[in-house]
Amino acid sequence: MDGLETILGRRSCRSYTDTPVPDDVIETLLRAGMYAPSANNSQPWEFLVVREKEMREAASVFGPYWGPLKDAPLGIFVLANMNVYGEAVSPMFVQDCAAATENILLAVRALGLGGVWLGLYPREERIEPVRKLFGIPENVVPVALISIGYPSEEAAPHTEFYADKVHYDKY
């Protein structure tokens, strides 16, 4: 699949078949996440791959729109290990992990899968239950969650371009 088609054709997918995602495909998704840019090449991301249905079902109640995680054969949490920054904790971890998340979502599309970014950070009411359920240490921040699977239906790509949201040279 062409790169631009991957970007322009990406849509959120919330409905999946029960076909498991093969391990080699999961590794490709994780590689895509790891190839994202990061501030000072800090690469703070770590990934928690959730294949067990019981764990996905348990986590699916932590966010109001996390229902798709229940039926997806795969969930990937994007985490930020704050120890990579040493004494000066960088707020750039949010951007770094967002870039990794988007890379995974684009790889999902390119590989014929479907996925949706489920809101997590900075919601403490979501972070803490995730941290507890999965045993995530305090120095690691859950930033994003993606439910992934083979789509049970294909959504039409967006075609809108909002010229009024574009500013040239000054606002």
Q: What is the pLDDT of residues 66-78, one digit of tens each?
A: 999 999 999 999 9
Which of 150, 126, 109, 110 lies closest to 22 in space, CA to CA? 150
Q: With respect to residue 17, please indicate whether it lies within any of the assigned structural domains.
A: yes
Specify whether the CB–CB gap between 51 and 73 falls below 8 A: yes
29 part of a folded domain: yes
**pLDDT band, very low/low/confident/very high, at 157 (cuts 50, 70, 90):** confident
Q: Looking at residue 97, what is its pLDDT?
A: 97
pLDDT at 87 over 90: no
- Asked, for residue 169, whether it belongs to a domain, the answer is no
Taking 3-state DSSP, the helix, strand and coil percentages for the chain, each rounded to the nearest 5, stand at 40, 20, 40
User: Is residue 168 assigned to a domain?
Assistant: no
- Domain membership of residue 60 (yes or no) is yes
The range of the structural domain enclosing residue 22 comes to: 3-152
Decide if 161 is inside a domain.
no
88 has a pLDDT exceeding 90: no
pLDDT digits (tens, 9 = 90+) for 89-143: 678 999 999 999 999 999 999 999 999 999 999 999 999 999 999 999 999 999 9
The pLDDT of residue 160: 93
Report which of 138, 133, 143 is spatially closest to residue 62, judged by C-alpha positions: 133
Q: How many domains does the chain have?
A: 1
3-state secondary structure of 101: helix
Confidence at residue 52, expressed as pLDDT on a 0 to 100 scale: 97
Whether 163 maps to a domain, the answer reads no
In a domain, residue 157? The reply is: no
CATH number of 96's domain: 3.40.109.10
Q: Give mean pLDDT, residues 138-154.
A: 96
